[in-house]
Structure formats: C-alpha cells, structure tokens
C-alpha cells in the first residue's frame, strides 16, 4: 500500500496547511486540511484509519502531537480542506484538545494544522488498511483508535513532510 500527498513540495508541506495559512478555526487553529491519496490497497480492506502526527513535538510539548485522526474512511482520495466538509468518515480529537492546546474536544475533532513553535518539525501521515469498520464516534482519542485497530490492520503506509517555524 502507498500514500501520497500533493500538499508536500520538495519534502515540505505547503504553508497553507499550517500556521502560515489563511484559514483558521474561531480559536486560531489552522484548519485547511491536506489532501492525500491511497493506492495499492490490499484485498479485503473494508476501511482506512489515518493519523497525522508530529513526533518532533516532544521537544516542545513533551508528547507526540496528533494533528488529525480519521476512522471509517472508505474511499482512497481526500481533497484539500475536506476535514471541514466531508461527512462520510469520522474524525477524532487532535492534540489541540490537550492541556497545551486548551480547545474543547468538539473544536478539535478535525484537522488541526501544523504550527511548530521551536524548529522545523517532521510530520507523518500514517494510513492503516483495516479489515473492518471501527464504528468510533466523533471526538474519539488516539488511544481509542489504537486499541480498536488491534488485530484488524492489513497494511500501513506513511508519507512524511516537514513544516518550519
């Protein structure tokens, strides 16, 4: 399985998908979501789960920052900015709902764009092909997704890009 994103140019996510973009939630979270496409899907795939995470956030926040959680995705292409418009997949709470982000779970249950505070960070978009739908509800947390996927992962694919301060 493979995942690609046209949001990545020369190894970096374009400005519009993070803090240098022009679309923000009412509380200031970057909200213009990245596009991506999944290919070479394994036979038996019933749905996809998606995690966009920043492991470099550990240097600033002390934990891996989750920027986007998707469950029960049944198609292979997501257009840019679909986090705010799509109704055919479920989105979990990103780390803007943490004590550092201080957003409500409802406010943070969509794409929360890149905003590295201290240096260039690497962002990984990880797609999991699953043999079932997970039936999670909006606002689920990463741990809910992680444990629901147990024994259901057929394949994974990752694409990585950077975003600078």
In angstroms, the Cα distances linking 140 to 23, 60, 61, 134 are 24, 24, 21, 11
Delimit the domains of the chain by residue range: 2-163
Phi, psi of 57, rounded to the nearest 5 degrees: -65, -20
Residue 17 has what pLDDT? 99
Looking at CATH, the fold of the domain delimited by 2-163 is given as Phosphatidylethanolamine-binding Protein (3.90.280)
What are the residue ranges in the chain where pLDDT is below 50?
Answer: none
pLDDT at position 101 is 82
Identify the pLDDT of residue 100: 82
Q: What tokens appear for 80 in the block?
A: 């840019």
Its pTM stands at 0.97
What is the pLDDT, as a whole number, of residue 37?
99
Q: Which ranges of 8-134 does DSSP label H, i.e. alpha helix? A: 58-61
Distance from C-alpha of 122 to C-alpha of 114, rounded to nearest angstrom: 10
């Amino acid at each position: 399985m493979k995942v690609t994103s046209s949001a990545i140019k020369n190894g970096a996510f374009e400005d519009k998908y993070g803090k240098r973009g022009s679309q923000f939630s009412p509380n200031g979270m970057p909200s213009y979501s990245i596009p991506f496409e999944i290919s070479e899907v394994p036979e038996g795939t019933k749905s996809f789960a998606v995690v966009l995470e920043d492991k470099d956030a550990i240097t600033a926040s002390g934990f891996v920052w989750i920027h986007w959680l998707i469950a029960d995705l049944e198609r292979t292409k997501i257009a840019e900015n679909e986090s705010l418009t799509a109704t055919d997949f479920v989105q979990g709470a990103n780390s803007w709902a943490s004590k550092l982000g201080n957003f409500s779970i409802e406010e943070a249950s969509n794409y929360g764009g890149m905003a590295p505070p201290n240096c260039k960070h690497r962002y990984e978009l990880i797609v999991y092909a699953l043999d079932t739908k997970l039936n999670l509800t909006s606002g689920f947390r990463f741990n809910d997704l992680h444990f629901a996927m147990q024994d259901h992962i057929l394949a994974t694919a990752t694409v990585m890009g950077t975003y600078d301060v």
